[in-house]
Amino acid sequence: MSDSSYNLDHLTELEAESIYVLREVAAQFDRPAILFSGGKDSIVVTHLAAKAFAPGRIPMPLVHIDTGHNFPETLEFRDNLVERLGARLIVGSVQETIDSGKVKEETGANASRNRLQTTTLIDAIEAHQFDACIGGARRDEEKARAKERFFSHRDDFSQWDPKNQRPELWNLFNGMHAPGEHFRVFPLNNWTELDVWNYILRENIALPSLYFAHDRVCIRRAGQILAHSDFLTLRPEETPETMHVRFRTLGDLTITGAFESDADTLEKIIDEVAATRITERGGRMDDKRSESAMEDRKKEGYF
Amino acid sequence: MTTSSTPDHNGLLRFTTAGSVDDGKSTLIGRLLYDSKSIFEDQLEAVESASSQKGIDGTDLSLLTDGLRAEREQGITIDVAYRYFATPKRKFIIADTPGHIQYTRNMVTGASTADLAIILIDARHGLLEQTHRHSFIASLLGLRHVVVCVNKMDLVGYSEDRFNEIVQAYKNFSSRLDITDIKFIPISALHGDNVVDRSDNTPWYGGGTLLHHLETVHVGADRNLQDCRFPVQYVIRPQTDAHRDFRGYAGRIASGVFKPGDKVVALPSGLESTVDQILVGDTSLDKAFPPLSVTMTLTDDIDLSRGDMLVRANNQPESTQSLDARICWLSEAPLNPATRYVLRHTTRDVQAKITEVVYRIDINTLHRIEDDLKVGVNDMARVRIKTASPLLIDGYRDNRSTGSFILVDPSTHLTVAAGVVG
Ligand SMILES: Nc1nc2c(ncn2[C@@H]2O[C@H](COP(=O)(O)OP(=O)(O)O)[C@@H](O)[C@H]2O)c(=O)[nH]1
Ligand SMILES: [Mg+2]
């Protein structure tokens, strides 16, 4: 039988794979959670989870690690989504981690809370005894992420050992682990940035307004455009100005680069993404710190 | 990307690259990505600056896939890297796998989900042990399509004779394997000959380029649409006011085509019922087939949970507690006949013991080794397995889902073996 009505387009095939992964987490783990960053990838993961368990509710909480430097739009969007889905939300606060004296805030004009998130995340994992944390990371994002399994083992200290990963055969995922260990799970592993955008369009998934071109007061720094906010320490040569911009990823306000764009609809964004010659994370200061910046952060337990 | 937002009419192709260390796997992938314009400027800049830091003339495209620090330091691939590219004809998922023998388990990981394997051979060296091993694994894992790329043709003066010699040697070896479709292409991954564009250096070669073959190879027929198998993965019972009585069986169709109204049998109970609805989210489908993930409801309330399977009455898998299987051992700790392993098959876990090692396989000669039956890391063997409760199996040749399993060591939780039935 090679009837063409049995051919699936690749988005449907990716969706089927992701739904399978999410259900496997629900079946294999006692205390799973979805790490919800507020960005488009975690919004897509949440959408897929809603589909995977429909008409039931998503059987795991959404966990948001709040740097305290969020765009207000992100928080508003998060709260609306949680309410609409009847999901449970758990917030881990980087500010509280700082106040407890566990970590020190970086200082200076390059200061960012990006790295501090890891401590807050690991604290939340321990406090709630999560045994599986589902993330929206994709293998096409970055070269260390290209090595990820679907079920990625983390030891008692949340560390990743990339040189010694478990084999992962077919779709027989092995989530067995000792107490204290956990897994990071990546349902979107095989999606590309363009796949995510096309899927958002196909499924008509709502997104925070930040992804669409809008007027915003920004500054230029080291070849990047950053949103001006109270969290940013201005350097003498920097002057805020209004630009027509949008964001390609949403992270901590102080490091997420915006770029000038007229794409104010999903269709225009897809055309722009398809034509662009720079990777998504190319706009992030945190990855530029060194060749192995992502690998090093991931080993410590970063998203 | 050169592609529009809807790149496919030939859908998705998953392929893996295999071959010995330094045969050029990473360079070939870099070349495919580069020539299909799937490399972004900042990635290329990073690779160029890393290349010049290492004192390499030109750009070392293998740095695109060797993403771990240890890999770049040692200049080798340790673990599978997945890469993505699309042309207007198809979307591709590549698993770039390591060539070193001690990382064979990572090669197996990359190959287990692939439709096709590219096996690289260095034209100067011909077939090496890893060529044999990887071809054997590809055959064991049921990859029906293999493309043998004879690489570094630039270093043998694009010699037709050398190419033919290697083709002949590979044919001799592979006649004892179970691969139906083998293609041979002379290439230079470094210079791009016959990768994306036809080469003027090989006028004697009449076939197409590698990319052309990847874009057009037909893999749809590899799917099993005959034998209906639906392993239940998760039971959805919302118990909300709106859906008080809803009971749905969530899972991925392993094989066959299911439709509402179909009479089905639940295994192992043998209870019969009829498919009521097939849902994805809140959309009802009029048919479901692999690899769709769906939720099925039945017209009767029967007892059915994770690990059970829905099938058709007249076409059932074998229910058995003893398996004949071929395994690839993946763990540093050797096979121990006294250990009760956890065997995971579809969505079911059972305890299992390996009661007999029938033979090991000598990768180079494909001969059976029957006198030394100790199975260690990277060994391939035929074994008999006994399980504590019945499994619902098909032969791997007919069914990649219901014919495959893994063994997990319950004391370390590590996956120690990959197995195929039959
Ligand atoms: N001359 C020549 N060198 C090549 C070719 N393909 C790869 N190489 C070189 O062979 C070496 C090993 O390549 P690499 O892609 O890392 O091999 P891998 O171990 O199979 O991934 C590198 O120095 C490459 O530049 C080729 O077609 N011609
Ligand atoms: Mg390599």
Whether residue B239 is predicted with pLDDT greater than 70 in this model: the reply is yes
pLDDT band with cut points at 50, 70 and 90 for residue B3: very low
Lowest-confidence pick of A137-141, A194-198, B101-105, B377-381: B101-105
The CA angle A173-A175-A178, to the nearest 5 degrees, is 155
Protein residue with its CA nearest to atom 9 in ligand 1: B24
Do residue B56 and residue B172 come from a single domain?
yes
Do residue B205 and residue B144 come from a single domain?
yes
Residues 6+ apart with CB under 8 A from A237: none
Residues 6+ apart with CB under 8 A from A72: none
pLDDT band with cut points at 50, 70 and 90 for residue A287: low
Do residue B123 and residue B169 come from a single domain?
yes
For chain A, say whether B68 makes contact (Cβ under 8 Å): yes
Average pLDDT over residues A274-286: 61
Locate tokens 């449970």: which residue? A88
* Portion 312-331 of B in contact with A at CB < 8 A: 330
In total, chain A counts a number of residues equal to 303
B367 found inside a domain? yes
**Three-state DSSP state, B33:** helix
pLDDT band with cut points at 50, 70 and 90 for residue B284: very high
Q: Which pairing describes strands B368-369 and B348-361: parallel, antiparallel, or unpaired? A: antiparallel
Range ranked top by mean pLDDT from B28-32, B69-73, B202-206:
B202-206
Decide which of A243 and A114 is more confident.
A243
Ligand 1 nearest-atom number relative to CA B27: 15
pLDDT band with cut points at 50, 70 and 90 for residue A277: low
Q: Which of B290, B311, B332 is the last residue of a domain?
A: B311
* pLDDT value at residue A294: 66
Chain A residues with CB under 8 Å of B43 CB are 279
CB pair distance less than 8 Å for B415 and A166: yes
The ligand minimizing its distance to the Cα of B77 is: 2
Average pLDDT over residues A154-183: 87
For residue A189, give the chain B residue with the closest CA. Answer: B82
Do residue B252 and residue B366 come from a single domain?
no
* Portion 9-48 of A in contact with B at CB < 8 A: 9-10, 12-17, 19-20, 23-24, 26-27
In total, chain B counts a number of residues equal to 422
* pLDDT value at residue B9: 67
Do residue B145 and residue B49 come from a single domain?
yes
Give the binding-site residues of ligand 1, using a 6 Å CB cut-off.
Answer: B 19, 21-27, 62, 77, 99, 151-152, 154-155, 188-190
**Three-state DSSP state, A35:** strand
pTM across the whole model:
0.89
Lowest-confidence pick of A27-31, A271-275, B189-193: A271-275
Least Cα separation, residue B68 to chain A (angstroms): 6
B35 found inside a domain? yes
Torsion of CA A6, A10, A13, A15, to 10 degrees: -140
Q: What is the mean pLDDT of chain B?
A: 89
**Three-state DSSP state, A242:** strand
Residues 6+ apart with CB under 8 A from A52: A19, A22, A23, A26, B250, B293
Average pLDDT over residues B354-363: 93
pLDDT band with cut points at 50, 70 and 90 for residue A1: very low
Whether residue B13 is predicted with pLDDT greater than 90 in this model: the reply is yes
Average pLDDT over residues B38-53: 71
Distance, in Å, from the CA atom of A118 to the CA atom of B105, rounded to the nearest integer, reads 30
What's the order of all strands across the beta sheet hosting A151-154? A89-93, A62-66, A32-35, A132-134, A182-185, A151-154
Locate tokens 């949440």: which residue? A46
Locate tokens 């983390």: which residue? A154
B16 found inside a domain? yes
Do residue B101 and residue B199 come from a single domain?
yes
A112 CB burial (10 A radius; 0-12, 13-18, 19+):
buried
* pLDDT value at residue B242: 84
* Chosen from A20, A172, A202, A295 to mutate, greatest number of chain B CBs within 10 A: A172
Least Cα separation, residue B250 to chain A (angstroms): 8
Distance, in Å, from the CA atom of B354 to the CA atom of B154, rounded to the nearest integer, reads 49
* pLDDT value at residue A2: 46
Q: Are B223 and B271 in contact (CB under 8 A)?
A: no
Distance, in Å, from the CA atom of B284 to the CA atom of B6, rounded to the nearest integer, reads 24
Name the domain count of chain B. 3
Do residue B281 and residue B355 come from a single domain?
no
pLDDT one-digit tens code per residue, A6-49: 888 889 999 999 999 999 999 999 999 999 988 899 999 999 99
CB pair distance less than 8 Å for A171 and B113: yes
Do residue B287 and residue B332 come from a single domain?
no
Distance, in Å, from the CA atom of A194 to the CA atom of B35, rounded to the nearest integer, reads 19
B275 CB burial (10 A radius; 0-12, 13-18, 19+):
buried
Q: Which of B180, B197, B222 is the last residue of a domain?
A: B222
B4 found inside a domain? no
CB pair distance less than 8 Å for B43 and A279: yes
Average pLDDT over residues A272-298: 63
Average pLDDT over residues A149-158: 87
* Chosen from A8, A143, A268 to mutate, greatest number of chain B CBs within 10 A: A143
Q: Which residues of B37-56 are buried (b: 16+ CB within 10 A; e: fewer)?
A: ebbbebbbebbeebbeeeee
Whether residue B2 is predicted with pLDDT greater than 60 in this model: the reply is no
* pLDDT value at residue B7: 44
Lowest-confidence pick of A77-81, A253-257, B260-264, B304-308: A253-257
Strand ranges (E), B272-347: 272-280, 283-284, 293-298, 309-311, 318-329, 341-345
Domains of chain A, CATH where assigned? 8-196+292-300 (3.40.50.620), 208-285 (no CATH)
Chain A residues with CB under 8 Å of B243 CB are 55-56
Q: What is the CATH number of the domain that holds B344?
A: 2.40.30.10
Q: Which of B311, B335, B359 is the last residue of a domain?
A: B311
Do residue B345 and residue B400 come from a single domain?
yes
B306 found inside a domain? yes
CB pair distance less than 8 Å for B237 and A291: no
B6 found inside a domain? no
E strand or H helix that includes residue A26: helix A10-28
Lowest-confidence pick of A34-43, A105-114, A165-174: A105-114
* pLDDT value at residue B31: 87
* ipTM given for this complex: 0.90
Distance, in Å, from the CA atom of A62 to the CA atom of A88, rounded to the nearest integer, reads 6
B3 found inside a domain? no
Do residue B30 and residue B125 come from a single domain?
yes
> Which residue type does A136 have?
G
Decide which of B271 and A115 is more confident.
B271
pLDDT band with cut points at 50, 70 and 90 for residue A102: confident
Q: Is the dihedral of CA A161, B416, B412, A170 positive or negative?
A: positive
pLDDT one-digit tens code per residue, B115-140: 999 999 999 999 998 888 889 889 99
* pLDDT value at residue B125: 95
Whether residue B51 is predicted with pLDDT greater than 80 in this model: the reply is no
Q: Is the dihedral of CA B28, B32, B34, B40 positive or negative?
A: negative
B170 found inside a domain? yes
**Three-state DSSP state, A130:** coil
pLDDT band with cut points at 50, 70 and 90 for residue A110: low
Q: What is the mean pLDDT of chain A?
A: 85
* pLDDT value at residue A172: 96
pLDDT band with cut points at 50, 70 and 90 for residue A154: confident
Strand ranges (E), B137-281: 145-151, 181-186, 229-231, 234-236, 248-252, 263-267, 272-280
Q: What is the CA radius of gyration of chain B?
A: 24
pLDDT one-digit tens code per residue, A187-237: 999 999 889 999 999 999 999 988 999 999 888 887 788 888 877 778 888
Phi first, then psi, for residue B270 (nearest 5°) are 85, 5
Q: Which domain holds residue B374?
A: 318-421
Residues 6+ apart with CB under 8 A from B338: none
Q: What is the CATH number of the domain that holds B165?
A: 3.40.50.300
Q: Are A172 and B252 in contact (CB under 8 A)?
A: no
For chain B, say whether A140 makes contact (Cβ under 8 Å): yes
DSSP at B366: -
Of B59, B62, B106, best ligand 1 pocket probe by most atoms within 8 Å of the beta carbon = B62
Share above pLDDT 70 across residues of chain A, in percent, rounded to a whole number: 86
pLDDT band with cut points at 50, 70 and 90 for residue B57: low
Name residue A284's beta-bridge partners.
A256
Q: For the beta carbon of residue B218, count every other beta carbon within 10 angstroms.
A: 10
* Cis? peptide before B291, omega within 30° of 0: yes
Do residue B79 and residue B209 come from a single domain?
yes
Distance, in Å, from the CA atom of B314 to the CA atom of A169, rounded to the nearest integer, reads 30
CB pair distance less than 8 Å for A291 and B1: no
* pLDDT value at residue A67: 80
Whether residue B77 is predicted with pLDDT greater than 70 in this model: the reply is no
Do residue B292 and residue B380 come from a single domain?
no
**Three-state DSSP state, A51:** helix
Locate tokens 């969290």: which residue? A231
DSSP at A277: -
Whether residue B4 is predicted with pLDDT greater than 50 in this model: the reply is no
Name residue B284's beta-bridge partners.
B279
Share above pLDDT 90 across residues of chain A, in percent, rounded to a whole number: 45
Query: Residue B288 has which token pair?
Result: 């479901």
Nearest to B112 among A8, A140, A169 (CB): A169
